Structure 1
Amino acid sequence: MVAFKTRKQWTEHFEPAEDYGFFGPDSVTWKVWTYPTSLILGFVRSVTIEHLDPNLTAAVVQSGGVKYRPHTRYSRTIRYFAMMVVGATEPTARAADVLVKVHSKAIGDDPVTGSTYDANRPSSQLWIHMTAWHSILYCYEKFGPGRLPAHEEERYWAECARSAELQTIDPEAVPRTRAEVAAYFAEWRPHLAASEACQDMVDFILPLGVALPPTLGRVRRTAMAPVRWVLSKGVISTYPKYVRQMFNLRQGPVMDAVARVLNKLFHAVTARSLNLQFQMLYLLTPAAAPVIGPALLGIPAKNPVTMTPREAQAAYGFDIPAEAHHDIRARQHARVFERNEKPSDEGLVESQQHIGSMDPYESARVG
């Protein structure tokens, strides 16, 4: 547990960011993603719904990362998302470049569809991207301040498309309105599958114990059980009926209403307390705190400018993700599909210096 501090003490605790990243403090992205609903509700909603893509489930199950190092997987993912939305341009562009290498090992055969999966495939990346951006906004609206004004929502989806430049996605394929987002998910629905593996992963994630560090003592873990229950019920309350049916979840309208009231109250109180926000942040993902902290506190960046990802990639000498590291991807493809070997971990090992350690005890240390 980190010590409670005054705003001044918290401000002195963090180093200013080098720049304002890809959006800046006046963006709708900063407004929505830095609200407390993002850290657990929005993130868990997105990663569970993602598993309805059988290709993604195959990649997750066959890698084993979520089951065998759940806290590091959670922490590293949150840190990367934090870098994407509020982080400085150079380290984020570098992390995105390394992730292409990491995803190059997430290839193989999908037993549900009989096809192959590839985490760098643009359609797979777009599915993950849209479930994240949609879930973060949905939970902000449902449990936070409410629906964005029309002009802010328009900016939010434009910023969502800009962020897609950090991945192998074609930014022109990104929906840019609420109606287009709804149409995108409707088009995906026939391709979704709630396999046994999918339901097993959702059952593993939803109790939310996966987010807790292995160093957390039994007393504190037990004390947090009611909070985890409320948050989990809140996540379930956001699922449409067909998703609940696919996940084999039973939660009625009364529990939905209770979960909404309790979660709105919890997040309203948390939003008014910097100390509660930092307690959650350092408990769940201390590696993300140095990225999120300056944005939460409004600490001016050393260089108060923003870039688009494409501008940053050009400035720092990185290929755009769709064109990056074809040599590594080809080597991984040959290992997996031609020689029937496991993919190498070269990108995964390199990623630790950019998005956090894979050692569950090291990742749980307070920075």
Structure 2
Amino acid sequence: MDPSRSQTQYMGWKIDYANPPGEPGFIGPDSVHWRIYKNPIALGVGGVAAVLLEFADARIRSGVWDHSTYKADPVGRSRRTAIAAMVGAYGPQSAARRVIAGVNKMHARVVGQTPGGEPYRALDPELLDWVSATAVYGFLTAYDRFVAPVSAEDRRRYFVESGPVARLYGVQTVLTCEADFTAMMERLAPRFEPHPIVDEFLTIIKTGKGQAGALGFFYRAIARAAVSILPPMVRARLQLGPEYDLRGVDRALVRAAAAVAERFPAKNSPATRAPLRFGLPANFLYLSRERQAELLTARLRQCP
């Protein structure tokens, strides 16, 4: 499969990150999101960590496992989730609204009961808030830990930037800082529990189900890296033991892969197509921060 095509197609819709020229997104070229989301290793590690945080709650765990294709098609399911995140960050607002509306429509059909008999629905505001919070936490923490440190000021900007897209998904409690995430997690903590589905999910990640089998060692490193960035309380509640401890070789492997991804643009990816919409070069996000600032200043001077 063409990896660039997999990021520009969603449920039969074509997403053009480079057009219409000048159409704003919900998040712009000078954002922390654009910097973080360009790195697929950070997104992979952060995405797995986010799912683990979500699966700690039986309502979300049951909703995902019973109403999605994750068990049968983990790669396709993960890819669709990634595209929804990418279009919210890099896409023009019109495309982002269309994709998010489609996601919300699908979520409206997700209702059921946990094995313990507790009803759930995907559009429950408490669940929407937590799912959004886990993604915000996961991507930021993975980038900070395995790619490059994120300053306190940029961390604050990142939380603020996430608000407009989160609200489109129906999120009511939008995070403004890390303390907000901690407070939400502590409110939900009494619900957190271990479950065989968590182990099954991690087995899918570790074995690279649906991916190149020869890279099993890399997928195991990704799984351990994701567990390593979980808040200690959540890891303890999920009973993820020493077999998930991040080893030196795992850390080196993940950081090396992230460093390569940070330096070399993926052709026709959202991160290289979106700058074109603003009259910026495709490699904009891979230039020095100083050069990026110069290009953005020059662009502002050209605007009427």
Give the TM-score normalised by structure 1: 0.66
Q: Which runs of 5+ in 2 are unaligned?
A: 4-15, 281-304
Q: For the residues of structure 1 that align with 2:142 and 2:269, how far apart are their CA atoms? A: 24
* Partner of residue 205, structure 2: 206
Q: Which runs of 5+ in 1 are unaligned?
A: 4-13, 213-220, 279-288, 304-367
* Partner of residue 30, structure 2: 26
Please report the RMSD computed on the Cα atoms of aligned residues, expressed in angstroms.
Answer: 2.6
Q: How does 1:207-222 map to 2 (within 5 A)?
A: 207=206, 209-210=208-209, 212=211, 221-222=212-213
* Partner of residue 273, structure 2: 294
Q: How does 1:129-144 map to 2 (within 5 A)?
A: 129-144=132-147
Query: Identity, % of aligned pairs?
Result: 24
Q: How does 1:269-284 map to 2 (within 5 A)?
A: 269-274=260-265, 277-278=266-267
- Cα distance per residue 1:60-86 (max 9 Å; x no partner): 222251112222211111111111111
Q: For the residues of structure 2 that align with 1:208 and 1:83, how far apart are their CA atoms? A: 28
Structure 1 runs of 4+ with >4 Å offset: none
Give the TM-score normalised by structure 2: 0.78
1:140, CA displacement in angstroms?
A: 0.5
Q: For the residues of structure 2 that align with 1:225 and 1:249, how far apart are their CA atoms? A: 20
1:257, CA displacement in angstroms?
A: 4.1
Equivalent of 2:105, from 58, 82, 101?
101
Higher-Rg member (1/2): 1
* Partner of residue 120, structure 1: 123
1:38 aligns with 2:46: no
Q: For the residues of structure 2 that align with 1:103 and 1:253, how far apart are their CA atoms? A: 32
* Partner of residue 164, structure 2: 162
Amino acid at match of 1:299: L
* Partner of residue 192, structure 1: 192
SS of the residue aligned with 1:120?
Answer: coil
SS of the residue aligned with 1:140?
Answer: helix
Q: Which has the higher contact order (CA 8 A, sep 6+)?
A: 1
Change in CA separation of 1:142 and 1:211 when aligned onto 2, cut-off 3 Å: farther
Q: How does 1:1-367 map to 2 (within 5 A)?
A: 16-18=18-20, 19-112=23-116, 114-146=117-149, 148-170=150-172, 173-196=173-196, 198-207=197-206, 209-210=208-209, 212=211, 221-251=212-242, 255-274=246-265, 277-278=266-267, 291-295=270-274, 298-301=275-278
Amino acid at match of 1:259: D
Q: For the residues of structure 1 that align with 2:59 and 2:18, how far apart are their CA atoms? A: 40
